[in-house]
Amino acid sequence: MLAIQRIRDILQPLVNFCKKLFQKKQSEKKIIKAEKEKKTEGKIKHRSFTLYMTRHIKIYMEYYDLGMQDIITCEVCLLSGRIDGSGFDIHHIQGRGNGKDVIENIMCLCRNCHTLAHKSVYSKTKLTKIHKKFL
If the chain, 135 residues long, is cut into consecutive pieces of 10 residues, what is the mean pLDDT of each piece? 76 80 76 66 43 73 83 91 78 85 91 91 92 90
CA distances, 96 to each of 34, 63, 79, 102, 106 (Å)? 31, 19, 25, 10, 10
Residue-level pLDDT at 51? 45
Residue-level pLDDT at 48? 35
Residue-level pLDDT at 20? 81
Residue-level pLDDT at 71? 87
Cα–Cα distance for residue pair 27/14, rounded to 1 Å = 20
Residue-level pLDDT at 121? 93
